[in-house]
Structure 1
Amino acid sequence: MMQEKPKLIYVYDALCGWCYGFSAVMHSLFEKYHHQFDFEVISGGMVLGDRQGPISESAELIKSHYPKVQETSGAIFGDAFLAVLNEGSQFQSSEKPAIALCVFKSFEPHKVVLFAHDIQIAKFIDGIDLNIDDNYLPLISNYNISEKEFLEKLKSEEYKQNAYYDFALARQLQVSGYPAAFIQTSERNFYMITKGYSDLATMELRVENVLKETAKA
């Protein structure tokens, strides 16, 4: 039985270049379908534990991949980000941006796709260090959110635990690479609509196919 409103679940990581390439696609899906779906964004936790470290440790890998992301998606990696990549010292960790996403959801859960997009623009165009709490304040300026409350929550253990719950949920959904997206039509019924990057036309087709299938049920 179909639930009242299906949910479109986007599993991403703030540090994932292919998610940045896919970000505009998700933004467009949100604009088109936000009346038909509840949208959820889950952080996958791509860079945690011993994967954390200065960006220099993954710089060669990033340099080998980002031109392909640009070519495939049209998303541009900014000069400020490339300067950070070449300088090499910025610390890479998925933890703080995942906490920030959970904090944002406590204020504006229905706009979480937009905020995930904002985080990735800050990272991959402006080269912003996502480990620094105050760097999120310009990102929330477009939303009706108290800076003081946002920073307090960003420092709290509760929202750190929420972020790690999201990481566990991504594993439960058997996501091993990003981006990934699902449509959930009931408690146990999930349709995977992308595993890796897909363009907007492909995503719209898959969403429409799920809507047609569930309408028959």
Structure 2
Amino acid sequence: MELVLVADPMCSWCYGFSQELERLIQRHPSSSIQLVLGGLRAGATDVLDDAGKQFRLHHWQKVEQASGARFNRDGLLGRVGFVYDTEPVCRAVVTARILRPDFDLFKVFRAYQHAFYVEAADTTDGLALAEIGSRALSRVWDTVSADEFLRTWKLQSTIDKTAADFAIARTMGVNSFPNLFLKKSERLYGVSNGYTSVDQMEKVLSIIAA
């Protein structure tokens, strides 16, 4: 089963949905996930003020109620001068794809979600992204240094490839996240538009397979 996920690491509904998607993969261990980065707020320049924080906390509460996902609310409230730009973290996931094209990119995506929502890491900062990404990619016999990760993250070619992902998401008609598709005979079939439980996804997949 070949799945295509269109999502953004700093999208709270994507964070809650990722847990359901992990459960789906556990049921279908031979499945693969192709990631298309969405660019939820790519290029944003406005500083997150108190109203913006409360708006996000309201959404976080909804996601938590629906999914049970953990959120570090104090980490959000304590941010000063934070610009909610999702391009840097999307580019970090693309960087991981460039450095290790055979790696399970969904694991890297999940590492950035955990870093932002639980550890309150600054996922707009290149150094922080490089540290998180290098840890996620490194294996006992195959390590990626934070320096190598950061150098690749800064390249114009990486910026361009990230923008290409955003463009692909738009050509797919995706304007909200997450979106999950099943790729079958070179066609894409919608499985989920927004947060969806694993049982509901199973029902949709069975209809597609029929």
The two structures have a TM-score, normalised by structure 1, of 0.84
1:76 counterpart residue number: 70
Q: Map 1:1-217; keep pairs closer than 5 Å.
A: 6-35=1-30, 37-49=31-43, 51-56=44-49, 58-79=52-73, 82-106=74-98, 107-136=100-129, 137-144=131-138, 145-147=143-145, 148-187=147-186, 189-210=187-208, 212-213=209-210
1:166 CA displacement: 0.5
Query: Which residue type is aligned with residue 66 of structure 2?
Result: T
Q: CA separation in 1, counterparts of 2:182 and 2:149?
A: 30
Unpaired runs of at least 5, structure 2:
none
Q: Percent identity?
A: 23
1:184 CA displacement: 1.4
Q: Across the two proteins, how many residue pairs are aligned to each other?
A: 202
The two structures have a TM-score, normalised by structure 2, of 0.87
Alpha-carbon displacement from aligned partner over 1:141-164 (angstroms, at most 9, x marks no partner): 243342132121111011111110
Unpaired runs of at least 5, structure 1:
1-5
Question: Structure 2 vs 1, CA of residues 109 and 11 (structure 1 numbering), >3 Å: closer, same or farther?
Answer: farther
Q: CA separation in 1, counterparts of 2:119 and 2:4?
A: 27
1:29 CA displacement: 2.6
